[in-house]
Structure 1
Amino acid sequence: MREELRSWAEKLRERALAAGLSFPPVLFEEVGPEEMAMLAAYGGFPHRYPHWRWGSEYLRYRETYRYGLGRIYELVVNTHPVHAYLLRGNTLLAQKLVMAHVYAHADFFQNNLAFRPIPKDMLDEMGHHAAYVKKAMERHGARSVEEFLDMALSLENLIDPHAPYIQRPQEAEEEERPRERLRVRPYLDPYVNPPPEPPKEAEEGARPRPLPPKPTRDVLGFLAQHAPLAPWQKGILEIVREESLYYVPQAATKILNEGWATYWHTRLLLPLLSPEEAVEFAELQAGLLASPGLNPYRLGYLLLKEVEERWDKGRFGPEYEALPLGEKLRYERPVGEGLKKLFQVRIVHTDLSFLEEFLTPEFALRRNLVAPEELPRFAEAKRTLLFRLTNAGYPIVELRDANYANRGELFLEHAYEGMELDLKKAKAVLENLHRLWGRPVHLKTVVGGKEALLSAGA
């Protein structure tokens, strides 16, 4: 990185720390458009396992930049240390803005509760995954491994997003995993810890234990453990599952995370700018906040500003205005409480809870997000938005029985909440589940307003 950029990175780091942000070391690297497109296609990592998906994403990012339809200003990875990339050729002010933005992201990664159980060594782990898949291709053929990867990736959203946050009782863990087993990444377990001898047949009339013991959303994890697959195939399922879980909190906090970074790059950088730079900053900021559709930068930034102003003024909602003067004084807080509230918000909230609590009709009207005549429909629009954000917009599906009708078939249930499944996609997923499980697979859902059972292999 150029000396001038290195100097600004240090200056912005010191300002961020003095303002109360806390984060691990951040490593910045300048890269060209081609390398930036490759990194973006790989989800921010320099190495991923070989698959056509990354090539497709790379071409999309490269052509978008080539034809002037957009450019990637920020690319930051939740690791320790944090890795961030600057696009070579951007103006000095754009690079300074990105660096201030990145420091706020690094603070969010370290302090938001959704990121607490997420491993910080994924840079190395992605390299291990790539080596594992390449070795599987050498042993079992590139085509067969890629075809299996296609099936596995079609199921990458059939995970339990809460799995990293569940603390299992130690007794249960020890009962399930003998003490002499070595703790390794799940995809390596079949090689490091060979399976024990199969259990003896149950006595006649004995009642089999239900499988799974209780309904689970972790369909991918269940298949990796119980499907009749080769060890290398189970390893690939675990790799896809582990990488999917890594990205869960980023999807769950997109609005709050980008709003937090936008708030802080504005606060950290604006006082340091010359009049000429302030004009360029205003243009960059306008472009960032004016993107059409659901713009996480704009919505998150405006909501955080709203929270800060309300807490600084001691106003906590429309009901405050109805209080008598004496009661109002009881709720007044000194200036500066707003910033304290923002630090609390960045710790405890995800997008769902953040929007549920602070996205009000009054805010939307004041910030010109809705017109006055649209207010009667605000509650419905908010419910729709929250529904889109639930489970990253993917349908919630539970595996309820792996021995359906006592025939060893899978039975899944879609948590229908008013939105029907895309039947074409659902049938394709069921077909892949059938291929992995080796027996028929059934999914209970709602089609045309009536309960329906979709099946594959039956």
Structure 2
Amino acid sequence: MTDYTMSELEGWNERIETLMHEAGLNCYEQQFEICSYEDMLCYEAYVGMPSHYPHWSFGKAYERKKTFYSYNLTGLPYEMVINSDPCIAYLMRDNTLLLQILTIAHVYGHNDFFKNNRLFKENTRAELTVEMFKSHASRVRDYIADPSIGPKKVERILDAAHALRFQIRRQGEGKPPSRSELAKETPDVVPDRLKIDLLGFLSERGKLTYWEKDLINIVREESFYFLPQMETKIMNEGWASYWHYRLLNDLELPQGLHFEFLQRHNLVVRPYQGQINPYFIGFKMFEYLDKNHGQDKIFEIRAQERDQSFLRRYLNRELCEEMCLFNYKIRGAEIVVAEVADEDGWKVIRDELANTVGLGMVPEINPQGVENGVLVIEHVYDGRELEMNYAKETLKYVADLWGGKVDLKTKLNNKDKIIRCTEDKIVSVWDD
């Protein structure tokens, strides 16, 4: 049983919308759907989309989330928001009235961020989001149903594409080439448009059929959709948390609801032990910036930055000290504090945090060219070595999509190395 009626919830939503407009937020049309916890599990497993193509990884995610939830090892999100126009959000039916009010306000913060941040503008077309995912789902199901293709062949390509899904152009897809430009490109040379887009290169130059290329491009197109969300996790959640806090304070809630609001808000933005809570970091930074620089500045930051630049430019010593941020390292069997937010240490903390947000933890692998039929790819080495077991298994997927031998250039122990994968998926390491 819920402690509210739908008309009551609609009334709170109207009040929040009014305050949202008065505060200067600029949102898409907002649609809410009330769902059960079982539906929320499904939406979360299928990354929030009303329609998504079938793949075993989504089913695995669903069963894992369901098991963890059943044993009280994890909770469910209070809401889930889709970057679309109109913006779609799911609210769990079992939420209390206050929790629904808080999450409605939180959703409007996300909505404003989706509409106005430049990464979302450059990488996505919100008005086409839902139709894009529906089209992808339909095409994948058609290939599965095709007797000449079938589920096993589809799964093989999707597995490989999923393993490489973020080896794409990290700054946006860019303008597609014309037919005349394509005709001028030399087969063994990597064109500029694909030099930082391994998945795009494989979809064009790999030994693949039309439907295999289509599957890869489906995964690639969806990766561009998710890219801004990965690159702005701290900012996006911080912005939404900052505005739910502002809007609910402006609502002048009854005492009982206000007390629950403070409890819920503190649970959302509390620091985590041993890990970073993006809600906490983002909320504290936007709160500090509004206090010290004003609302015009935080709207400008919301529009222009991604997590990495946001942290590098605006995470200062005062904030590091207030949030008790520190770096730790593993020495043998012990974990020791390596840096604290003192006169010099806070800069190290800031820089290391900025290097690990978004795609900072995903190694960048780019195509270099083709030599005697062998695809040569290179790891952009930044002082962090590849995790070898993962690298070897992923390289097999590259060879599968290329349809031949692949050489991966990297560094191990400060020495130039080549990780080679044959057509038979035999992987070995050589000196370069």
Q: What interval of TM-score do these two structures reach, taking the shorter chain for normalisation?
A: 0.7 to 0.9
* In 1: Cα distance, 2:358 partner to 2:91 partner: 32
* In 2: Cα distance, 1:208 partner to 1:125 partner: 32
1:425–1:270: structure 2 CA closer, same or farther, 3 Å change rule?
same
Superposition deviation, residue 211 in structure 1: 2.0
Instruction: Determine helix, strand or coil for the equivalent of 1:265.
Output: helix
1:209–1:431: structure 2 CA closer, same or farther, 3 Å change rule?
closer
Q: 8 Å contact 2:340–2:349 — kept in the other structure?
A: no
Match of 2:218 among 231, 239, 242: 239
Superposition deviation, residue 56 in structure 1: 1.1
Tell me what 1:286 maps to: 266
2:104 is aligned with 1:148? no
RMSD of aligned residue pairs (Cα, Å): 2.1
Deviations 1:278-297 (CA, angstroms, capped at 9, x unpaired): 21011101111125121111
Instruction: Determine helix, strand or coil for the equivalent of 1:163.
Output: coil
* In 1: Cα distance, 2:67 partner to 2:239 partner: 30
Structure 1 segment 23-38 matched on structure 2, within 5 A: 23-38=27-42
2:385 is aligned with 1:420? yes
Match of 2:132 among 125, 130, 139: 125
| Count of matched residue pairs | 398
Deviations 1:75-117 (CA, angstroms, capped at 9, x unpaired): 0000010000000111000000000000111111011111103
Deviates most, 352-361 or 154-163:
154-163
2:374 is aligned with 1:396? no
Q: 8 Å contact 1:260–1:301 — kept in the other structure?
A: yes
Q: Which structure 1 residue ranges, 4+ long, deviate > 3 Å from structure 2?
A: 207-210, 366-374
2:316 is aligned with 1:360? yes
Structure 1 segment 74-223 matched on structure 2, within 5 A: 74-117=79-122, 118-120=124-126, 121-139=128-146, 140-164=149-173, 166-167=174-175, 173=178, 175-176=180-181, 210-214=188-192, 216-223=195-202
Tell me what 1:307 maps to: 289
* In 1: Cα distance, 2:186 partner to 2:261 partner: 67
* In 1: Cα distance, 2:45 partner to 2:187 partner: 44
* In 2: Cα distance, 1:123 partner to 1:244 partner: 15
Deviations 1:144-169 (CA, angstroms, capped at 9, x unpaired): 211221112111121112133x357x
Match of 2:207 among 198, 217, 228: 228
2:269 is aligned with 1:262? no
* In 1: Cα distance, 2:230 partner to 2:30 partner: 22
Superposition deviation, residue 119 in structure 1: 1.7
Tell me what 2:332 maps to: none
2:296 is aligned with 1:340? yes
Superposition deviation, residue 377 in structure 1: 2.8
Superposition deviation, residue 173 in structure 1: 3.0
Instruction: Determine helix, strand or coil for the equivalent of 2:363.
Output: coil
Task: Specify which structure has the higher proportion of strand.
Answer: 2
**Identity, % of aligned positions:** 34
Deviates most, 354-363 or 63-72:
63-72
Q: 8 Å contact 1:64–1:71 — kept in the other structure?
A: no
* In 2: Cα distance, 1:397 partner to 1:373 partner: 33
Instruction: Determine helix, strand or coil for the equivalent of 1:443.
Output: strand
Superposition deviation, residue 275 in structure 1: 1.6
Tell me what 2:407 maps to: 442
Q: 8 Å contact 1:51–1:146 — kept in the other structure?
A: yes
Q: 8 Å contact 1:255–1:296 — kept in the other structure?
A: yes
1:58–1:390: structure 2 CA closer, same or farther, 3 Å change rule?
closer
Tell me what 1:327 maps to: none
Instruction: Determine helix, strand or coil for the equivalent of 2:178.
Output: helix
Q: Which runs of 5+ in 2 are unaligned?
A: 327-336, 424-432
Q: 8 Å contact 2:204–2:213 — kept in the other structure?
A: yes
Instruction: Determine helix, strand or coil for the equivalent of 1:395.
Output: coil
Deviations 1:431-458 (CA, angstroms, capped at 9, x unpaired): 1111221221011101122110111017
